[in-house]
Structure 1
Amino acid sequence: MNKKPEMRSGLDRLRHSIIYEGVFLFLTVLILKDILNQPVAHIGSFGIIMSLMAMIWNFFYNCAFDHVLIFFKHPLYPRGFKLRVCHSVSFEVGFMLASVPFTMIWMRFSFIQALTMDIVFTMAALTYTLIFNYAYDVIFPVPPAVPD
């Protein structure tokens, strides 16, 4: 008897994205408004759009990541530190392809300014992502595999 791979449901992924982005948006606006000396509304709007972009990317990226693991017959869970690092870094690199051009337009930054901000922000996001995903796995564990 074969077991189905242990994958999170679409609703669980949606909950993950909403909680992740909500907490991250709050922290981002709280910190960036002072660092960039910008109004909360401008930073908040920027953060909401980036958050929506990230949520869409997050959903599709995580589904694809799981399918790649399944294709290579790698267990989905538990996810050790090395796999979490790989997951987080590859997510952020992919997201930067959209976030740097958007940052240039919204913040009226040069490419170098937008790239610098994105790299610094990404380093902070990587740390947050590692901590958040570890905590999420502990708080919302994956249900056991179901036999076929």
Structure 2
Amino acid sequence: MRTTKDRIRHTLGFEVIGLLIFAPLASWVFGFDLHLMGVMAVVGSIIATLWNYVYNLLFDHAMLRLRGDVRKTVPLRVFHALLFEGGLLLLFMPMIAWYLGITLWEAFMMDIAMATFYLIYAFVYNLIYDQVFPIPQPTRAVQK
């Protein structure tokens, strides 16, 4: 299992490297100033982090009330992920449209592109991270 220090390194690395890749790439793809894309990416990261906390708290309370249990089946995990992304889209899309002075449709397309980038990036980042910082082998207590 990873240590707290390792989890902090993982999270900070993920956010910093993601922003360093995403902002210039988005600036180039969408034709906006790098500064605008950088601010949008940082704000998006903060919104996603706060939404993640609130959403999971609400979802767990709803599951306890409706099912009496917070353990998720595979279909529930898919529903959980889709609902999370839908909520994030509703929270972030108007901010993108306002900040960049674009239509909601354009903001929707940009938000989908951002979500796709981070989905692929998270997969690649975690593969590389696990190679550079392997998970330590668990130590088992000796049975007497």
Please, what TM-score do these two structures have when normalized by structure 1?
0.61
Q: Which has the higher helix share?
A: 2
Counterpart CA distance in 1 for 2:52 and 2:90 is 14
Structure 2 unaligned residues grouped into runs of 5+:
136-144
Deviations 1:40-79 (A, max 9, x none): 2111011111111111111111223333444422526xx7
Deviations 1:92-135 (A, max 9, x none): 10011111110111111112211222233334444556x48x87
Counterpart CA distance in 1 for 2:35 and 2:62 is 39
Q: Identify the match of residue 61 of structure 2 among 67, 84, 95.
A: 67
Q: Identify the match of residue 119 of structure 1 among 101, 112, 121.
A: 112
1:107 counterpart = 2:100: yes
Counterpart CA distance in 2 for 1:65 and 1:43 is 31
SS class of match (2:27): helix
Task: Give the % identical residues.
Answer: 25
Name the counterpart of 1:94. Answer: 87
RMSD: 3.8
Q: Which structure has the bigger radius of gyration?
A: 2
Name the counterpart of 1:144. Answer: none
Q: Which runs of 4+ in 1 moved over 6 A?
A: none
The one-letter code sitting in structure 1 at the alignment partner of 2:89 is M
Name the counterpart of 2:30. Answer: 36
Return closer, same or farther for 1:26/1:63 CA change in 2, 3 Å cut-off. Answer: farther
Counterpart CA distance in 1 for 2:97 and 2:56 is 27
In the alignment of these two chains, the number of paired residues is 125
Q: Do the aligned residues in 2 keep the contact of 1:88 with 1:126 (CA within 8 Å)? A: no
Q: Identify the match of residue 51 of structure 2 among 35, 53, 57.
A: 57
Structure 1 unaligned residues grouped into runs of 5+:
1-10, 140-148
